[in-house]
Amino acid sequence: MESLFGTDGIRGTANIHPMTAEMALAIGRATAHVCKHDHHKRHRIVIGKDTRLSGYMLETALTAGICSMGVDVLLVGPMPTPGIAFTTHSMRADAGIVISASHNPYQDNGIKIFSRDGFKLSDRLESEIERLVSTGQINNIRPTADEIGKASRIDDAIGRYIVFCKKTFPEDLTLDGLKIVLDCANGATYKVAPIIFSELGADVTAIHVHPDGKNINHNCGALYPQDLKAKVVETKADIGLAFDGDGDRVAFVDSCGRPAESDRVAVLLARHLLRERPGEVIYDIKSSSLLAEAVQAAGGTPVMERSGHSFIKTALLERDAVFGAEISGHFFFRELGGDDALYAACLLLQILQTQGRPLAELLDALPRYPITPDIRLPCQPEQADRILEALAAAFAGCPVSRLDGVRIDFGDGWALARRSVTEPLLTLRFEAHSEARLAEIQQIVRGRVPLLERVMSHGS
C-alpha cells in the first residue's frame, strides 16, 4: 500500500505524483467516503487553500472527487490554515481540507485534512484513505442521481474568522497608537491580517500582499524577514509581524528591526497564559533553557518534546497542555487544539498593550544564554547512528535524553545531536550560560567521541 501522508499531510511538486489532479480526485473521493458516518444526512467538507497557482487545479479535482461520492463541498478560497480549521468546526462540517505547502516555494503544494473538530485527521482514517486510493477500491463506489454532491462558496468565511480573531483581544483594549508592519508572504494572510489589526486600531503598513500565484514565500514572510526589518525601521514602527505562506507560523521584529527569537517570544506568551490557568507547557527540544526555566518560575510544568510541528501538537492534545511552542515559530494553544499565527500575534500585542512596554524592552529584560544555530554536518545515516550511540555511552554519567537524537544536560548548558530523516546529515546544537562555557562544552563533546571529532574537522 502506497504511503501518502507524511507528518503534515501529503506534499510534493505540483503536477507530479502524488500532487496530481488524478490523485487529488481519488483523495477527495476517499476522504468523502471515510467521513460519511451517518447515511441519513447530507455531509459537507470545507476546502480552503493558499495562493499558489496549482491551488486551482487541486481545488477543482478535490471538489469533483468529493461531490462524486455524494458529499457537498464548501469552498472558502485563500485563507490561513488555522482559519480553515476554525471554519470546519464552526460550520459543523464533517471534514476540512487545506491545499497548501506552507513555507515551501510556489511549485510545491500539499493536501492536509482536518477532522470535524478542526484537528488533524486520525492516523486510522489517513491509513484508510491510503488503502482506498492505493487498491483502487474507491473507484467502485459510485452514488448516482440525487445522491451526488454539490459545491457552493462560503463568501463570509473570511469575515467569520476575522471576527473570531478580534474576539480573542480584550474589549477594553485597543491597538490605538501602535504602528505595525505586516509581511503576509503573498500568501493566505494577505486579506485577513491587515483587516484584523487595522480594525483593532493599529496603524498598519502591509507588505507582500499582492499574490500572483508564483510569489508566495519568495524572499518574504516568516522565513525571509529582510524586507520586514527594513520597513519597520523605515516607518519607525513599534513592531513587525511576518507570516508564512499558509498563515500558521509567525515571526516578530522589534522596533529596532531586530528579529525576536521564537523561544523568547514563547516565554512572554507562556507567562501570560500560566497566570490564567496553570498547567503544562510543551517546548521544542531545540529551544533555549530559558523557556523551561521561565515556565517553572511561573508555576507551570515544562515538558520537552521532539522538534517538529506534529510532535508538539500531538503532545499538546494528548497531555491537555496549556501552551506549546516550536522553535520555527509555531505557537499552540489548548483552546484551539493547535497552532494559529494570527491568534498568537493578537495575544502578544495584548501583552504589550497591557504592560505598556515595547517588545524590545520585554525581551531585553530576559536572560540571554549563548546558543548556536544548527551545525549541519554531512554524514551518512549509519555513521550518524554510530556517533549518537557513542555520545550516549560517553556521557552516561550526565542526564541524557534520547527523545530526539541525543541531548546531554550539563547543568549550565546542553548539547544536542540529531540525525536528519530527509538528508544525509547530522545536526548539532549547543547552549550554555556563558560564551566561555559554550566553547568548553563543544570541545568536551568533540573530545569524547573521536568519530564526531573527525566528522566535524572534515566539515570545517
Residue 349 · residue 173 · CB < 8 Å: no
Cα separation of 23 and 18, whole Å? Answer: 6
DSSP 396-452: TTS-EE-SSSEEEE-SSEEEEEEE-SSSSEEEEEEEESSHHHHHHHHHHHHHH-HHH
Q: What is the DSSP letter of 145?
A: G
Cα separation of 282 and 272, whole Å? Answer: 15
Supply 280's cell numbers. Answer: 503544562
* Residue closest to 260 by CA, chosen among 235, 285, 234, 242: 242
Q: Which residues contact 436 (CB under 8 A, 6 or more apart)?
A: none
Three-state SS sequence of 229-242: HHHHHHHCCCEEEE
102 labelled catalytic = yes
Catalytic hit among 54, 102, 288, 328: 102
Phi, psi for 87 (deg, rounded to 5) = -65, -40
Q: Which residues are the active-site residues?
A: 102
